[in-house]
């Protein structure tokens, strides 16, 4: 008889109420825990997975690494002198995030293995009622750090469920699968595919890449960081700060090509063509790998070993999308058939149809998904949405980047969130809600700027665009401008509901009860607090 498995201890219940509830413990959620705690805010972070790390926990495929230099792709308040490479591998970035949690002592604020399943704004109590896999709780403020690139997008390929080999998405890599000596297909030519292809090309029997669109690929120049440099950075942190500032400026300058004068990116196209010429001698393969749209329209990729991997005699590029699967055979749109043992879907993520939007219900009973279905994802300053009081996004609509580190964006949005909480505390507000007019004006401005960017004019279709062709993912400006725009919350863009309009009393069991807004008084106080009142 089998010995009974030891019973897992019951997890501690969640508190009944928290001031700030954050969904997700990736860069955004961890950053929120660190910075809000410093401000003395009460924070709870719920993470559905068993560990923190987000992107860097989920993406364990061979070759996974950042594509913005690590000295820039980390928190400004937590530099890491120990990066071993210019572009750190996934394991190091995950270890860095664990270290940040440890260093800033926020581990006890993060509950892993608890998924938020629904959140509903309750107008009378001015609180979020949140359901989780570990029970319900309420929160004054709800912060989505649920990420934009963590819900795998699976292609709708007829017959894929009949595939007789192994099939998996790049973000759900199965470490038990041994691809050595197997016939393997990769679908996709984005940032994940160009890291996977070189990492497996040598060990598989054959590799076939299904390419709908060729990518612009530039030299990566990844290097090991010499020991003396790491020691110097550890000893004199200022030197690493200067190095980071230079990296930041180098990236920032390129934004001019993306958002202002796309012709500037022709220099990148020349570099990309030269890179292709230098690395691929076969003219047919070169032609297949030459992009037919302007550089920057899709994400520009960095690699020194992607082209050499595709030039191997065991590799093949099918210049066509995967159309059908029949048993062990993959059939491309152009009719090419290939039999394979394993199929890797490097097909990206659900970016403009965020799963978290389906679980958040606002003031008028509609979900964020339903609201955004009308005119695309949008938020005031990428952070707040009319009809959804006390809800803040980190990495919200139109805050993604094509040219620099997303951690910079996260820190900008954290500054905005902190100022919002400060404003609420100082003004004694129970609720803060973006006005419709401020949100409309912000989005009109975003769309006006977006119209001249390479993402709109570059002649491609990309994951930056939603089903209607709107670019709702990216920020059409510099990170400096985004930082300026999110430095302070402007109360004139918000309706503030004073705490005095929501009366709460404690019942005999110790829980808070709410009587609801006091008619008339509430309206008067709202009028008094909104508008252009001077900051205290």
Ligand X SMILES: Cc1cc2nc3c(=O)[nH]c(=O)nc-3n(C[C@H](O)[C@H](O)[C@H](O)COP(=O)(O)OP(=O)(O)OC[C@H]3O[C@@H](n4cnc5c(N)ncnc54)[C@H](O)[C@@H]3O)c2cc1C
Question: What SS3 state is found at 497?
Answer: strand
Q: Cβ closer to ligand X: 71 or 183?
A: 71
Q: Any contact of residue 88 with ligand X (CB under 6 A)?
A: no
Q: Any contact of residue 54 with ligand X (CB under 6 A)?
A: yes
Query: What HEC string does 254-306 produce?
Result: CHHHHHCCHHHHHHHHHHHHHHHHHHCCCHHHHHHCCCCCCCCCCCCEECCCH
CA distance 411 to 397: 15
Among 21, 32, 43, 47, binds ligand X (CB under 6 A): 47
Question: What SS3 state is found at 167?
Answer: strand
Among 357, 406, 424, 473, binds ligand X (CB under 6 A): 406
Q: Any contact of residue 27 with ligand X (CB under 6 A)?
A: yes
Q: Any contact of residue 68 with ligand X (CB under 6 A)?
A: yes
Among 19, 62, 67, 369, binds ligand X (CB under 6 A): 67
Q: Cβ closer to ligand X: 171 or 446?
A: 171
Q: Cβ closer to ligand X: 169 or 294?
A: 169
- Six-digit token pair at 520? 């008339």
- Six-digit token pair at 227? 């020991």
Q: Cβ closer to ligand X: 206 or 479?
A: 479
Q: Cβ closer to ligand X: 68 or 371?
A: 68
> Of 58-66, 219-227, 303-311, 382-390, which part binds ligand X (CB under 6 A)?
58-66
Closest CA to 517 of 501, 529, 533: 501
Q: Cβ closer to ligand X: 222 or 328?
A: 222
> Of 59-67, 241-249, 442-450, 496-504, which part binds ligand X (CB under 6 A)?
59-67
Q: Shortest gap between Cβ of 127 and ligand X (angstroms)? A: 18
Q: For the chain, report the end-to-end CA distance as a whole number of angstroms.
A: 71
**Taken in order 361, 362, 365, 369, is the CA torsion positive or negative?**
negative
> Of 27-35, 303-311, 312-320, 471-479, which part binds ligand X (CB under 6 A)?
27-35
DSSP annotation of 488: S
- Residues in the interface with ligand X (CB under 6 A) total 33
**For tokens 């993604």, what's the residue?**
400
Q: Any contact of residue 218 with ligand X (CB under 6 A)?
A: no
| 282 burial level (CB within 10 Å; 0-12, 13-18, 19+) | exposed
> Of 66-74, 200-208, 256-264, 423-431, which part binds ligand X (CB under 6 A)?
66-74
Q: Cβ closer to ligand X: 291 or 402?
A: 402
Question: What SS3 state is found at 136?
Answer: strand
Query: How are beta strands 429-434 and 360-361 bridged, if at all?
Result: unpaired
Q: Any contact of residue 116 with ligand X (CB under 6 A)?
A: yes
Q: Shortest gap between Cβ of 421 and ligand X (angstroms)? A: 19
Q: Any contact of residue 396 with ligand X (CB under 6 A)?
A: no
Q: Concatenated DSSP letters for 7-39?
A: PPPPPPPPPSEEEEEEE--SHHHHHHHHHHHHT
- Six-digit token pair at 20? 């700030």
Q: Concatenated DSSP letters for 54-79?
A: THHHH---TT-B-SS-TTTSS-TTS-
Give 23's strand partners. 46, 144
Q: Cβ closer to ligand X: 118 or 373?
A: 118
- Six-digit token pair at 141? 């403020």
CA distance to 45, 389, 476, 508, per residue, from 125 (Å): 22, 12, 37, 18
Q: Cβ closer to ligand X: 34 or 496?
A: 34
Q: Any contact of residue 73 with ligand X (CB under 6 A)?
A: yes
For residues 186 and 196, the answer to whether their CB atoms sit within 8 Å is yes
Closest CA to 203 of 318, 339, 311, 314: 314
Q: Any contact of residue 66 with ligand X (CB under 6 A)?
A: yes
- Is residue 120 within a helix (H) or strand (E), and if so which, with residue range? strand 116-122
Q: Shortest gap between Cβ of 182 and ligand X (angstroms)? A: 23
**For tokens 């991997």, what's the residue?**
309
Q: Cβ closer to ligand X: 183 or 381?
A: 381
Touching ligand X, residues 129-168 (CB under 6 A): 145-147, 149-150
Q: Cβ closer to ligand X: 61 or 163?
A: 61
Q: Any contact of residue 46 with ligand X (CB under 6 A)?
A: yes
Q: Cβ closer to ligand X: 67 or 316?
A: 67
Q: Any contact of residue 356 with ligand X (CB under 6 A)?
A: yes
CA distance 276 to 281: 9
Q: Any contact of residue 55 with ligand X (CB under 6 A)?
A: yes
Q: Any contact of residue 411 with ligand X (CB under 6 A)?
A: no
Touching ligand X, residues 364-393 (CB under 6 A): none
Q: Any contact of residue 26 with ligand X (CB under 6 A)?
A: yes
CA distance 266 to 293: 11
Q: Any contact of residue 24 with ligand X (CB under 6 A)?
A: yes
Among 29, 190, 257, 387, binds ligand X (CB under 6 A): 29
Q: Any contact of residue 204 with ligand X (CB under 6 A)?
A: no
Among 17, 19, 48, 229, binds ligand X (CB under 6 A): 48
Q: Which residues bind ligand X (CB under 6 A)?
A: 23-29, 46-49, 54-55, 59, 64, 66-68, 73, 115-116, 145-147, 149-150, 191-192, 356, 394-395, 405-406
């Amino acid at each position: 008889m089998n010995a009974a498995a030891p019973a897992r201890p019951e997890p501690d219940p969640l508190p009944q109420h928290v001031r700030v509830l954050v969904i997700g413990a990736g860069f955004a959620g961890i950053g929120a825990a660190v910075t809000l705690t410093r401000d003395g805010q009460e924070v709870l972070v719920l993470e559905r997975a068993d560990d923190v790390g987000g992107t860097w926990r989920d993406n364990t495929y061979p070759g996974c690494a950042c594509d913005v230099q690590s000295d820039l792709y980390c928190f400004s308040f937590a530099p890491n002198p120990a990066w071993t490479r210019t572009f750190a591998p996934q394991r190091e970035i995950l270890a860095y995030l664990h270290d940040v949690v440890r260093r800033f002592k926020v581990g006890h604020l993060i509950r892993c293995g608890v998924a938020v399943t629904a959140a509903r704004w309750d107008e009378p109590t001015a609180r979020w009622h949140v359901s989780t896999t570990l029970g319900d709780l309420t929160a004054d403020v709800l912060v989505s750090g649920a990420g934009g690139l963590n819900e795998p997008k699976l292609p709708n390929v007829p017959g894929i469920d009949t595939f007789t080999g192994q099939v998996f998405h790049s973000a759900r890599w199965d470490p038990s699968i041994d691809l050595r000596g197997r016939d393997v297909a990769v679908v996709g030519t984005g940032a994940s595919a160009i890291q996977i292809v070189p990492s497996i090309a040598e060990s598989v029997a054959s590799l076939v890449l299904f390419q709908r669109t060729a990518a612009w690929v530039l030299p990566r120049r990844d290097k090991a960081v010499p020991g003396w440099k790491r020691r110097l950075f550890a000893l004199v942190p200022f030197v690493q700060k200067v190095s980071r500032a230079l990296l930041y400026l180098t990236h920032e300058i390129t934004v001019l090509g993306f958002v202002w004068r796309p012709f500037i990116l022709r220099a990148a196209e020349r570099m990309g063509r030269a890179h292709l010429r230098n690395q691929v001698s076969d003219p047919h393969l070169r032609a297949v790998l030459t992009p037919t749209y302007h550089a920057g329209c899709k994400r520009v990729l960095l690699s020194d070993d992607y082209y050499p991997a595709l030039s191997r005699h065991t590799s093949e590029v099918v210049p066509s999308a995967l159309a059908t699967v029949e048993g062990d055979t993959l059939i491309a749109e152009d009719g090419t058939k290939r039999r394979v043992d394993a199929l890797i879907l490097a097909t990206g993520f659900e970016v403009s149809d965020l799963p978290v939007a389906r679980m958040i219900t606002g003031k008028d009973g509609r979900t964020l998904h339903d609201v955004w279905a009308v005119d695309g994802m949008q938020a005031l300053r990428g952070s707040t949405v009319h009809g959804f009081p006390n809800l803040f996004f980190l990495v919200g609509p139109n805050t993604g980047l094509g040219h620099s580190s997303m951690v910079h964006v996260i820190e900008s949005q954290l500054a905005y969130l902190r100022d919002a909480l400060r404003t609420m505390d100082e003004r004694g507000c129970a609720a803060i809600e973006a006005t419709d007019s401020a949100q409309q004006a912000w989005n009109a401005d975003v769309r006006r700027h977006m119209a001249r960017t390479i993402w709109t004019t570059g002649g491609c279709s990309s994951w930056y665009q939603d089903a209607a062709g709107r670019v709702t993912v990216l920020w059409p400006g510099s990170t400096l401008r985004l930082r300026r725009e999110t430095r302070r919350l402007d109360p004139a863009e918000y309706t503030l509901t004073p705490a005095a309009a929501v009366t709460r009393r404690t019942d005999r069991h110790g829980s808070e009860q709410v009587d609801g807004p006091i008619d008339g008084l509430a309206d008067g106080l709202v009028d008094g607090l909104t508008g252009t009142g001077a900051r205290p």
